[in-house]
Structure 1
Amino acid sequence: MTEMAPRPLPLTRECPLAPPAEYARLRAEAPVSPLALPDGNVGWLVTRFEDVTAALVNPAVSAQRTFQTNVSSVTLTPEEWRASGFGTSFIGMDPPEHTRYRRMLTGQFTVRRMKALAPRIEQIVDEHLDAIVAAGPPADLVRDFAEPVPSLVICELLGMPYADSKQFQQHADVMQRLERSKEELLDAMTGMAAAIRTLVQDKRAHPDDGLISGLIQATPGDGVPLTDDELVAIGNLLMIAGYATTANMIAMGALALLTYRNQWETLRDHPETIERGVEEILRFLSVAPFGLPRTAKADTEIGGQRIRAGDPIVLSIESANRDPARFDSPDLMDVTRAPRRHVGFAYGAHQCLGQQLARMEMRIAFARLTRRLPDLRLAVPLEEVPMRSDMQIYGAHELPVTW
């Protein structure tokens, strides 16, 4: 492979709905390229679909990381992280430790629980659409729909009081910002962790049908029940992943559908296409601009490039899902496209546990949105929509719409 100097992660977008153009060149010329990380480390950026999926199942590639992929105004020391009460996320663990947590959580994301949630998700979506219609145009689809719906759904899943949803949204927002003080970050983390700990203690005393109660009552394979600290770490992860990513995918999906009007009209006029439409939104768009961080735990090879043990690796989801070697006309949004496996939810042992819940929320949200507000349109030009380029999770800060 041609030697090249390490370059920073591509972040500059010519279009808010497209990945940085640099990814197309890298896929063609240097699919595994030297990466200059903002913390001074040098690693590897993986951009092709085949190489990304291979890395995600490569036993020599660890989910643990000791480097930073985003340019943030502040980072925490390990001591400060532990003091926050936030705990250690199992998504940064490898087997067998990761396997223990994943098996327990897989047992909670059951088909029965997802089916039981569907009527409540429909009710939450309908209530917010009722409020939007009653208030009349214009509306902010982020504030009025994309954020509150998944926030309330995750409360329903965990067995958390709905009154806490706004506070959790605020904590999650602070944690996602690239520019915040250490005090702001620690306040948000300790606030969320403390609230989750209170929830865990309440569910120990008053169990219900929620996921936290299910985890408390579950018996792991090793026979050792989860501690409060472990449950807090899981609860924190589910709040961030289950709320923030889904909220931004709903907002970005709506923005794309309203920008490419024929796609909105297809979903509106042919509701039977909703499942394919959601898969296309998940492929076409990404809320992960900083990729999936990994570390080589042994010497290995990815895409013909030798990687040494200890090297940082960043897997670009948004580049992989636009790879023409995998998808025909990948830069074209087509909600009738016959779906092929994408990596919107990663792949392998670390594939997103909540993917079926996210799919269900998006299907219900877009099916009802297109039916209830068939003439919905952007109230400002695409270039005037304020995007979340200042956040770890990409999306839109606001989505002004009218009808």
Structure 2
Amino acid sequence: MANELEKTTYRFDTQRLRAGYDPKEHNYAVSPPIYQTTSFDFRDVEHAKALFGLRELGNLYTRIGNPTVAVLEQRIAALDGASGAVALSSGMAAVSYTLLNVAEGGGRILTSPYLYGGSADSFKKVYPKFGITFDFAKNIENPEKLAEEIKPDTKAIYVESISNPNGVLLDIDAIAKVAHEHGIPLIVDNTVATPYLYNPISHGADIVVYSATKGLTGHGNVIAGLVLESGKFNWQSDKFPQFSEKYYTLRDINDNNRSFLEVFPEAPFTGRIRFNYLNYFGAALSPFDAYLVLIGLETLSERIEKQVRNAGILAEYLKTHKSVEWVRYPGLKDSPYHELAQRDFPKGAGGILSFGFKGTTEQREAFLNSVKLFNYHVNIGDARSLIVNSPQTTHSELEPEEKKIADIPENLIRISAGLEDPADLIADLEQAFEKANT
């Protein structure tokens, strides 16, 4: 069977269960084993030399590679059509290693204002200390004008495929075209969509990042991140000299120094993250956590499909409620993003929606304190339905003007639809609304 897997290109639902794993290589274990080991014995001295010189790829030390983690990397790469992937200990590690890798030495990142609050806050607090500046694009929804905002030292464009918490959709194809015309990569955070709903690489993205904590795993029991690359971007450019830089640690058998482009011609970006940033900054994903992500991936399609369906039902319910000022969900026909949702998200536009609570701050807080079935916390993509007041929690780092630019009013409440019966979810919201208004 393994030989047939190697020869055949399988569809998504087969890949999420099978890709990256050959039972023959793991004592015929049906489920990928958890290799809970720090390091791996060398066959002999020559084997050690080959591994340390990257002349042979294999297991050396779990911080930079582990068989369980490798199955996850290969599986998600197959799902996304990526040439390479590296798994990390959190989604924020995936974001930070990606941005440091692309803008090493300084430069600018042109980014969407519609982002996860932690990302936006780190962009202003952390990266400027490393010589990396972020420009929040005014024309991210008008790609034909976006080129005007690209500067000589702009190193990348960074966006979310479905934004958190507002469900903003962007024309990724058009943004990718602008980026490539200016010789810079497009980086897409695909956390909310997951590869089941959207494949950024097929729409022109060069780098994809995930918080695997969310929908990819879907059970609220692991923190993990992933970085993937398309293998199509030309990193051999004066704008990105770090990829052509030759290192002694990459030397060949004749002790000639080599670059990451030479050693990893198909995946220099993730190769460089693994052997520079992961190796020395150390945000390694544990084998057990990688196993949990793999288990989550096995039910990805079924989970996301129902979450999308539940999100649509909840959005329609909230639209007509007397205590709701507005609803934002790209799956709604009156959403400004409905046309993009129809074009780019045929399986649905995610399980995240937000609404404006009509009432006082005290009533809004009473509503949140009254929910019984929804879990009140900051995760998303869980099998359980979640609810949170994003402006005061996940996006509380943003200053008032930043919230205005990101279109996050103080009365916004975010829902991450889970797998419960939608009638029970609606009943829970209804009783909470009633208590808030008494």
TM-score bracket, normalised by the shorter chain, equals under 0.3
Higher relative contact order (CA 8 A, sep 6+): 1
Kindly name which structure, 1 or 2, has the bigger radius of gyration based on alpha carbons: 2
**Please, what TM-score do these two structures have when normalized by structure 2?**
0.24
The TM-score normalised by the length of structure 1 is 0.26
Higher strand share: 2
